[in-house]
Amino acid sequence: MKSVIAILTVVLFSVGASAPVLADKPDQEALLKIAQSLFAPLPETVENPDNPLSEEKIELGKMLYYDPRLSQSGFISCNTCHNLATYGTDNLPTSLGHRWAVGPRNSPTVLNAALHTTQFWDGRAADVEEQAKGPILNPIEMGIPDESVAVSRIASMPDYVSRFQQAFPQDSDPVSYQNIANAIGAFERTLTTPDRFDRFLKGDAEALSDKELSGLQVFINQGCAGCHAGPALGGNIKARFGIVESYWEATREFLTVDQPTMPMDVGRFAVTQDQNDLYVFKAPSLRNITRTYPYFHDGSVWDLRAATQIMARVQLGREIDDTDMDKLMAFYETLVGEIPADALRLPVLPASTENTLRPSSR
Amino acid sequence: MKSVIAILTVVLFSVGASAPVLADKPDQEALLKIAQSLFAPLPETVENPDNPLSEEKIELGKMLYYDPRLSQSGFISCNTCHNLATYGTDNLPTSLGHRWAVGPRNSPTVLNAALHTTQFWDGRAADVEEQAKGPILNPIEMGIPDESVAVSRIASMPDYVSRFQQAFPQDSDPVSYQNIANAIGAFERTLTTPDRFDRFLKGDAEALSDKELSGLQVFINQGCAGCHAGPALGGNIKARFGIVESYWEATREFLTVDQPTMPMDVGRFAVTQDQNDLYVFKAPSLRNITRTYPYFHDGSVWDLRAATQIMARVQLGREIDDTDMDKLMAFYETLVGEIPADALRLPVLPASTENTLRPSSR
């Protein structure tokens, strides 16, 4: 119940503290005020005192992010499942991985992920640096057998070694698994997508149309901001998926025939073994939500209207009518931001050497 | 025998027509003259009168090149196996494809490929446009079941449709499989990598060092230019791989344990059923050769010295000594060019719609 209480507290506190329930025709000034209390403009970068950003570290992180040699097969890079050409996702229900393994969960977008207070759908990693260490070694993702193999591959390339020295000048042994993760994390800390909604939050009255403002009002009035708040509109709360109704029942009809039959995902319970964490997942960010389909931790629903309706039903016990749904869809469009141009500039990667451990598809 | 005769003719004609065998210390002027008779500077783009280039077509082609929705799984794009971050190759012995199929042949680099007089290792396609139609539908590559599925996926996205209209303004039905191939081909026609060797060929006396010039001289004297001539240093001749000795015997010891046991590749014979085409392959381009490892149609050899020695042995019946090999390696470095910056700028792809055929990993 802790999660549920947390949500209700946020909803009541936020809405209660700021304004009465908003009128149907949006009063832009009032709406801006309450929006500013619930959300925040995206920063250009997300700082981490334990992993300070530098140009060298960000560029190195970008190279590693795009380097398929961080997979055992040499076929899969971070960008394969978190493709920046498609808003940091793979747009698959759940990701494919080493040896064509079908993973159990949907790849969340890397865009604005550094703002999340925990990483992965079940929040099992504290930050993007810790997150980056997971998929490389996961046998059904990138499949590198252990940290030393990843480090040895990278350390076999002189260009990478000198880049690690420049990115981590204080370290006597800069090419380490932790620093691979730190560099990738640093790159990810630059992947924010401020755009129109941020201009609105900063007071630009022209940034959103009336319909989009109405959609924002619906979003707040319906209680969506209870879980989808903060600069990323999500990523900072874990909640049971299916408070009023089971998410499982609500989503099964949307599965494509192609998706493997998987058992009901117990969510964070698998991490903590705490009954309170049963079916608890991190509320995802709604930034770029129109582009990060399919939806939910299992990618079971492709249509954003359907996904929104399911959330209203199973989380809030509500049904959103067509008029409000249209407005919400208009509002969602304002959350699509610009991907930083630097991140989209594909790096030319260092050559392997005779000492570079060869790829293996097995 | 036709292929062998073709090679010998080229060698004798080229060397014979231009100069006597070159002396040990390179005479830069004489070397430039003979080099100009054998090679040519890379153009900025490779024109095709049947597929004229336009900015709109090139940009559209780039989007398609990077779009994983041209694979059945939504997991593999052209760039997966011809990765521009790694000089247009995947640096795997042979490529992985749909459902983790291990292909029978090494992915040739897309860089400068438009200059080849035929495409694929066995020359079964006339140009890059025809080539582009192959992998999308190949069940062990991108695995789209038929042309109409590829066209329907692309045509389901309004942004793509309007880009096809702009790229093919004369066509009444611009979103066709042929035009998908034409757009990708147009993009590939911009992927040339002129650099130092081209400056040398244009007369820049400072472009190559003495050692590199010596390497060029060895390259010519040893007869390498018999097959590796023209602007791409290859790509314009098909020849039996293993004229003096069997390539199979010469390369088996280099196979990694990971590589599947494959029957001896009959090369172009599989296309023509002509005994003269047995073990005949296209001589690949040596542009960017230090970066397009592993080598040969089966990717059996990772080391460029070993690959060069094998070629000398099985094609020319020679052995290259260490001094000459060092020089050749220096010369090869001059063939590494710059990848066009525009090509490395990852496009942000159009969103799928409710009409877009969903990916399937099966």
Question: What residues of A are in contact with residue B345 (Cβ under 8 Å)?
Answer: 341, 344-346
Whether A150 and A70 have beta carbons less than 8 Å apart is answered as yes
Q: How many helices (H) and strands (E) does chain A have?
A: 15, 2
What angle (nearest 5°) sits at the alpha carbon of residue A40, between those of residues A35 and A41?
115
* Mean pLDDT within A55-67: 98
CA distance linking residue B160 with residue B70, whole number of Å: 13
CA-to-CA separations, A204 to A19, A29, A44, in angstroms, rounded: 21, 11, 18
CA distance linking residue A74 with residue A354, whole number of Å: 15
> A23 φ, ψ to 5°?
-75, 170
Mark yes or no for CB contact B68/A84 under 8 Å.
no
User: DSSP string covering B179-221, please?
Assistant: HHHHHHHHHHTT-----HHHHHHTT-TTSS-HHHHHHHHHHHH
Question: What residues of B are in contact with residue A160 (Cβ under 8 Å)?
Answer: none
Nearest chain A residue to B303 by CA distance is A354
Q: pLDDT band for A21, please (50, 70, 90 cuts).
A: low
Tokens encoding A349: 């990667």
Instruction: Identify whether B169 is preceded by a cis peptide bond (ω within 30 of 0).
Output: no
ipTM of the complex: 0.93
Q: Which of A141, A147, A188, A206 is catalytic?
A: A141
Residue of A84, A258, A291 lying closest to B361 (CB–CB): A258
Could you tell me the domains of chain A? Answer: 2-43+195-333 (1.10.760.10), 55-192 (1.10.760.10)
Interface test with A, best of B94, B304, B361, B362 (most A CBs within 10 A): B361
Which are the contacts of B155, defined by CB distance < 8 A and separation ≥ 6? B161, B175
Mark yes or no for CB contact B346/A346 under 8 Å.
yes
Mark yes or no for CB contact A92/B75 under 8 Å.
yes
CA-to-CA separations, B301 to A311, B247, B284, B333, in angstroms, rounded: 55, 11, 14, 18
Whether B324 and A326 have beta carbons less than 8 Å apart is answered as no
Cβ atoms within 10 Å of B48's Cβ, excluding its own: 16
pLDDT value of position A221: 96
**Which residue numbers of B are catalytic?**
141
CA distance linking residue B324 with residue B360, whole number of Å: 52
CB pairs A-B closer than 8 Å: 104
Mark yes or no for CB contact A87/B344 under 8 Å.
no
Residues counted in chain B:
362
Q: pLDDT band for A260, please (50, 70, 90 cuts).
A: low
Residue of B66, B91, B354 lying closest to A303 (CB–CB): B354
pLDDT value of position A257: 61
* Mean pLDDT within A40-64: 98
Percent of chain A with pLDDT strictly greater than 70:
91
Outline where chain A has alpha helix (H): 2-18, 28-38, 55-66, 78-81, 128-137, 147-155, 158-167, 177-188, 196-201, 210-221, 247-251, 269-272, 304-316, 322-333, 341-344
CA distance linking residue A344 with residue A347, whole number of Å: 9
Question: What residues of A are in contact with residue B359 (Cβ under 8 Å)?
Answer: 91-92
Question: Rounded to a whole number, what is the largest CA-CA distance in chain B?
Answer: 69
> B295 φ, ψ to 5°?
-105, 165
Which class for B41: exposed (0-12), middle (13-18), buried (19 or more C-beta within 10 A)? middle
* Mean pLDDT within A326-338: 98
Provide residues of A within 8 Å CB-CB of chain B: 66-68, 73-75, 80, 83-87, 90-92, 96, 99-100, 102, 256, 258, 290-291, 293, 302-303, 339, 341, 344-349, 351-352, 354, 358-362
Tell me: pLDDT of A16 over 50: no
Closest among A316, A306, A335, A296 to A216, alpha carbons compared: A335
Own/partner long-range contacts of B76-81 (Cβ < 8 Å, ≥24 apart): B76/B141, B76/B142, B76/B143, B78/B110, B78/B132, B78/B135, B78/B184, B80/A75, B80/A80, B81/B107, B81/B135, B81/B141
Nearest chain B residue to A68 by CA distance is B90
Whether A57 and A182 have beta carbons less than 8 Å apart is answered as yes
Which are the contacts of B309, defined by CB distance < 8 A and separation ≥ 6? B319, B320, B325
Compute mean pLDDT per 10 residues along chain B, 362 residues long, and list them: 43 41 70 97 98 98 98 98 98 96 96 98 97 98 98 98 98 98 98 98 95 97 97 97 91 74 88 96 98 96 97 96 98 98 98 96 91
* Closest Cα in chain B, distance from residue A235 (Å): 23
* Closest Cα in chain A, distance from residue B303 (Å): 7
User: DSSP string covering B266-291, please?
Assistant: -BTHHHH--GGGTTEEEPPP-TTGGG
Q: Which residue has the higher pLDDT, A249 or A43?
A: A43
Question: Rounded to a whole number, what is the largest CA-CA distance in chain A?
Answer: 69
